[in-house]
Homo-oligomer: A and B are copies of this chain.
Amino acid sequence: MAVTDKSVLYQHGTLSLLVPGLFEGTMTIGELLQHGNSGIGTVQDFNGEMVILDGHAYQVVETGEVHELTAEQSVPFATVHFDDPKVTTHETKLTKADVEQKLLTDYPYKNVFYAVKIRGIFSHMLTRVVQKQEKPYPNLTESTKTQPKFKQENVEGTLIGYYAPELFQGVAVAGYHVHFLSNDHSIGGHVLDYTLAEGDVSIQPFASLQQHFPLEDPAFLKEDFNYAGMSTSINKAEK
């Protein structure tokens, strides 16, 4: 099914499958991009942070370098949508906490999934990037023990990601989960902190989450997931 439905958020894999270390790519970028032109995720072998903008999938690797992914490369976990903001407002001088609170205060979407996109100039940006893992893959806690961080002041770029309702913790990251890519590709990754100097803040709520599973992946099908303590592992690694 490759339908351009802007009311659907599409996710391949669950966040939970990263917890025991299921980092094998189970969907190609080519197929993923049929379900959205914008989004975030990680790459085969947990090899960095993915940012998808305007139909192009970029990989920020542990050295800080940014590569465009090819249609044949694959991902274990990614979330995408067709960009179509419901509301965009021009904002100045907002911290990460300000933006997160503002969206929940200004819009009635705390119980649904929504995309957040900010195009602008960030007076401060702090990211981190996960490190490529080798088989047999270690689990998420082991894999994320050391993670390079990157920092820049006054950087222009796009922040993109999602808000997920609390009920979906483990399916996704409950609350916000956003990535960043600067226009000049000098910095990107999973966003830890930022201050927006000036920019356009967009929100796009979704009527549906299409949660797609790697139904042909034997390792996923066989895994005995341990859900007790999963939320702790996720928050440790993803926040």
> Which residues on A are within 8 Å of B, measured CB to CB?
1, 3, 5, 7-8, 14, 16, 108-113, 165-168, 170-171, 205-213, 215, 218, 220-223, 225, 227
Contact = CB atoms under 8 A, between A and B. Distances in A.
Considering residues A8, A171, A208, A220, which has the most beta carbons from chain B within 10 angstroms of its beta carbon? A208
Contacts of A206: 213, 215
Contact of A211 (B110, B208, B225): B208
14 contacts: A1-B5, A1-B7, A108-B218, A108-B222, A109-B221, A111-B213, A111-B221, A167-B171, A171-B171, A206-B215, A207-B213, A208-B212, A209-B209, A209-B211
B5 A166 contact: no
Contacts of A108: 218, 221-222
Contact of A16 (B110, B167, B211): B167
Number of this chain's copies in the assembly equals: 2
B223 A111 contact: yes
Nearest to A213: B112
Given A208-B211, A211-B211, 7 more contacts: A8-B210, A109-B221, A111-B220, A111-B221, A168-B171, A206-B213, A208-B210
A168 B221 CA distance: 16
